[in-house]
Chains A and B, each alone.
Chain A
Amino acid sequence: MSEQLAVPVALQRGRPLGYWGMLMLIATEAVLFGAIIASYFYIRFRTPHWPPPGVPEPKVLHPLLLTVVLIVSSLPAGIASWAARRQLPGRAAWGLFGTIALAAIYAAGTLVVMVHAWHKVGAQHDAYDSLFFTLQGAHVAHVAAGILINLYLLVKISRGRLTQYRINGIWAMSLYWHFVNVLAVFVLLTTISPSL
């Protein structure tokens, strides 16, 4: 056999396994949100008045602005990943910090919107409200989880070296952020659809 089978010691041609694992997680979470959004429209198609009588139409401006803030956070997330892979810990840390800050603004603002909406009409009122709060809540929960993980990564690289393991982690998390941000567009379009 004339194949080249020697494995050079520092060979790293492929993407890390965690990258592929993260893609699988993204795929399954995408379907999760797809199912919630499909349920929203399924119920909508069967309901003559949407929102139901007594429920105000959803706000558009605040959620739209907040979503823009979140989408912008893909930029620092991408920078963090790019910098980490080029062994630039300082820039990577700032990228992580920027992502966390913007995402935190989004999360806090969205929670405020949700609390206001809850006080007007709670989730227990009608399927419309239950679907709204479940969809929005699920998305905010994903943002919150991302913030926590990014904080953990930030602490790790601030206190220590930029190891391959941490680089892989930052890379995988940047994928997660891009996913959560794209998802935010779909969540937004769905939740404000009655006002469109």
Chain B
Amino acid sequence: MSTAVGREELHRLESIWAEKPGLRTFLTTVDHKKIGTRYLVTSFAFFVAAGLEALSMRTQLAVPDAGAIGPKAYDELFSMHGTTMIFLFVTPMLNGFGNYMVPLQIGARDMAFPRMNALSYWIYLASGIFLYSSFLLGSAPNDGWFNYTPLAEKAFTPGLNIDFYNLGLLFLTVSSTVGATNFLVTIFKLRAPGMSLNRIPLFCWAMAAQSFSLIFALPALSVANIFLELERRFDFHFFDRAHGGDALLWQHLFWIFGHPDVYIIFLPAVGIVSTVVPVFARRSMIAHDWLALATMATAFIGFGVWVHHMFATGLSNVTYAFYSAASMVIVIPSGVQIFGWLATVLKGRPVIRSPFLYILGFIVTFVIGGVTGVMFAAIPFDQQITDSYFVVAHFHYVLFGGAVFPIFAGIHYWFPKITGRMLDERLATWSFWLFFVGFNLTFFPMHILGLLGEPRRVYTYHPGFGWGLWNLLSTIGSFTLAVGILGTVVNVIWSRSSGAAAGDDPWGANTLEWATSSPPPEYNFPSIPVVHSVDPNWDVDDRRDDARRLEHAELTLSGGHETIGTDWLDADIEEIHEGPSESPWPLLLALTLSWFFVAFLAGHWVLAGIGVGLIAVAVGGWHLKEPGE
């Protein structure tokens, strides 16, 4: 029963938070839900692009001596496939879910820095376009997604390919760093009252672990990119032996970023798993505390294993010992997570729906990938199968299994919340099985091919090695997988307008995003929820109290773009935070950064210098208008 006070509060909130539809809002929005949706759509588009690159490669490799794609084009394809999938698809897609759901799950009205949120999206889009424009110039990155020196140095790859790589990644890094800062401050300072550290949802723990990892790992990549670009453009020396440099320095710097990067990808994805499992097992997550710990421990130990990517480079055995030990021990927290999920499913009463199907698919594929991963920790074995298709099989099982399956679970789970409609279950089920069978048919044969000696990154192979049949099966699998993905795309597009109405909480879920409407109103919650357990949406009394508070205008924070700020440990109320409304500066700053990177790529130093000036102006403009003015 709503009171006049309650209705008045709602009316006030609506008028404060409303963003008028139109081009202006499109370019200036700071709403985390709109930005999250953009991340999801844009990253899926990059997924399709990278998928097409993969299908081209699989077509070429279907039979020996195919002759469909030459070596130079093939080099660009595998390099861009890897770079796109890692940098432009998985992490941004997971950040899209994070952007949309984290504020909702913690009971906040937006991220801590809404304009920086918009900025990180625009930079992501600009850097993706920047990287893909390399195809138009016939100079896409072509030295693999990890771009080893000396091949990546000017002497061996003189074209713009690697400059696109270096500058594109430096550009993207700004977005990722800004985003990580935003998530950390949001998760630690904007939680609902009562949401102490032990009540933080596992998806938010995952986003926090990912963000810490980004903060500490990205600089290593940036230093590598800066060093290489200084070498290529200004003849500095870092990696060339002839002038006192060392080619392995690139590998160290790259993998100091690169290994944590796999956890940057993996942890939010399994955060989605941890979100979906309790809902479909119909019980609270067993050992919630341990899974939170496992998330943070995996991220931390992940910083100490990078040399396992270099076991074949001839370093000292004592050096190897450090990283081999850590590579084995890192399995422990992952194991804890798997057992936690399995125990929850086994002790619950599972309900099989499409999100849960993808979770089951994830468990199977990720465990297979994990098993082959532990095999690599044994240096003698690693040195035998390094750079072969066995490696390709392993990382696709862990990446596809460990990230893409959960992403698809997330799509099916959260589609109702974002759109207010349900996906079609039958189409979703058919798509899942094509996806699952296609995936395994594509990548399982690669284990065998690796053991039979097929190297990775070769554009063709001759008959007589016994590789033809397995490659053909793999190609058939890849097209099957593509059809499965297409099924989901069709489902999403069709259901947006014609799906069944979802209501607030179609799954009967336990986290706070389901405590508000689908899609949520601009202000997320009419009154800030107060939380007393780890499954707040199952605490019916608490949610009734939220409604009661609205009717008394308590914790409605309707004085402006307000959300509550709480203490990071126990979530006691500290203050009210006032945030910005629409602003043009994120887009403008992203454009000035684009100017700088394009000018630098083209070697126009004067224009690049002007770009630096414009960036300074944009930063100044950003801070010109202050809240309350």
Contact = CB atoms under 8 A, between A and B. Distances in A.
Contacts of A131: 238
A13 B223 contact: no
| 7 tightest A-B CB contacts, nearest first | A32-B219, A127-B244, A14-B574, A130-B236, A24-B181, A165-B626, A35-B223
A34 to B, nearest CB: 8
Interface stretch (B187-195, B428-436, B455-463, B487-495): B187-195
Most A CB contacts (10 A, CB to CB) among B227, B240, B530, B577 go to B227
Nearest to A169: B623
Contacts of A124: 234-237
Contact of A28 (B188, B218, B245, B246): B218
Contact of A39 (B216, B238, B557): B238
Given A46-B246, A165-B626, 13 more contacts: A3-B193, A5-B530, A14-B567, A17-B113, A21-B182, A24-B181, A28-B215, A32-B219, A32-B222, A39-B249, A123-B234, A124-B237, A152-B620
A1 B555 CA distance: 14
A130 B246 CA distance: 13
A21 B189 CA distance: 11
A17 B626 contact: no
Given A24-B185, A35-B223, A152 B246 contact: no
A169 B237 CA distance: 39
A184 B577 CA distance: 35
Contacts of A152: 620, 623
A25 B180 CA distance: 10
A5 B528 CA distance: 10
Contact of B219 (A24, A35, A125, A163): A35
B246 A3 contact: no
A123 B287 CA distance: 56
B555 A52 contact: no
B364 interface: no
Contact of B189 (A12, A17, A27, A133): A17
B158 interface: no
Interface of B: 112-113, 116, 177, 180-182, 184-185, 188-189, 193-194, 215-216, 218-220, 222-223, 226-227, 230-231, 234-238, 240, 243-246, 249, 252-253, 256, 530, 532, 545, 549, 554-555, 557, 564-565, 567, 573-577, 616, 620, 623, 626-628
A29 B181 contact: no
A112 to B, nearest CB: 21
A27 B234 contact: no
A134 B236 contact: yes
A31 B217 CA distance: 8
Given A12-B575, A128-B244, A165-B626, A31 B215 contact: yes
A13 B572 CA distance: 11
Contacts of A52: 244
A157 to B, nearest CB: 12
B219 A134 contact: no
Most B CB contacts (10 A, CB to CB) among A25, A31, A128, A166 go to A31
Interface residues of A, number: 46
Contacts of B555: 5, 7
A43 B216 contact: no
B71 to A, nearest CB: 32
A182 interface: no
A169 B624 CA distance: 12
Contacts of A14: 189, 565, 567, 574-575
Nearest to B216: A31
Q: What DSSP secondary structure best describes chain A's contact surface?
A: helix
Contacts of B576: 7, 11
Given A32-B222, A134-B236, A21 B216 contact: no
Nearest to B240: A127
Interface string A120-157: 00011111111101100000000000001000100000
B243 to A, nearest CB: 5
Given A127-B237, A134-B226, A17 B244 contact: no
A9 to B, nearest CB: 8
A17 B577 contact: yes
A31 B554 contact: no
A115 B31 CA distance: 48
B59 to A, nearest CB: 40
A143 B161 CA distance: 33
Nearest to A24: B181
Contact of B113 (A4, A21, A32, A166): A21
Contacts of B249: 39, 42-43
A130 B189 contact: no
Contacts of A134: 226-227, 230, 236
A25 B181 contact: yes
A87 interface: no
Contacts of B577: 17
Contacts of B564: 7
Contacts of A34: 219
Contacts of A7: 555, 557, 564, 573, 575-576
Contact of B243 (A4, A39, A125, A166): A125
Contacts of A148: 616
A31 B627 contact: no
A166 B244 CA distance: 48
B215 A24 contact: yes
B357 to A, nearest CB: 38
Contact of A17 (B185, B256, B545, B549): B185
Nearest to A51: B244
Contacts of A24: 180-181, 184-185, 215
A163 B557 CA distance: 22
Most B CB contacts (10 A, CB to CB) among A6, A13, A52 go to A13
Contacts of B623: 152, 165, 169
Contacts of A186: none
Interface in A96-136: 123-131, 133-134
Contacts of A128: 244
19 contacts: A5-B549, A7-B564, A11-B576, A17-B113, A17-B185, A25-B177, A31-B216, A35-B219, A35-B220, A47-B244, A124-B235, A124-B237, A126-B237, A126-B243, A127-B237, A127-B246, A130-B245, A165-B628, A169-B623
